[in-house]
Amino acid sequence: MNKNKERSTVGSRIRPLLVGVGAGVGVGLLLMLATAAVMALVQVPAAVVTPMAMGVLAVAALVGGFVTARLSRERGLLYGAACGLLLFLVVAVIGLAVMREIRGTTLFLKLALTVGGGALGGILGVNVGRR
């Protein structure tokens, strides 16, 4: 295989992942802003805050996986899960930078939500709209 074709193949796999992760981060930020606005206006019990944040993370991963799969047009489960994993790494690095610690239980839940949400989004992204 020549080098140009090899670069083209690698680029065609990485670009959808990066765009999908960017879409996931963007949607996550918008949803977090909306959630923060609601919490500023309405008294939200403390026990609901973490599940709300986890829900936002799962939706962001789903959107990221969907976008990745729509762009790659193949292997939705794999590309969506990879997008979710990259999104998890972004969230973990930012969380570590801000909080200066990582909690094990929450970390594994975030990993499951992002990889699972990304995989589901990838499956939907490849299959929705096909006829």
For the chain, give the mean pLDDT: 88
Per residue in 89-105, pLDDT (tens digit) is 998 888 888 877 777 77
pLDDT at residue 4 tops 80: no
Instruction: Give yes or no for a contact between 80 and 68, defined as CB atoms under 8 angstroms apart.
Output: yes
Instruction: Give yes or no for a contact between 56 and 111, defined as CB atoms under 8 angstroms apart.
Output: no
> Cβ contacts of residue 125 below 8 Å, gap of 6+?
65, 66, 67, 68, 69, 70, 76, 80
pLDDT at residue 59 tops 90: yes
Segment among 30-44, 91-105, 112-126 with least mean pLDDT: 91-105
Question: CA angle 99-25-66, nearest 5°?
Answer: 140
Give which of 66, 89, 88, 92 is closest to 79, Cα–Cα. 66
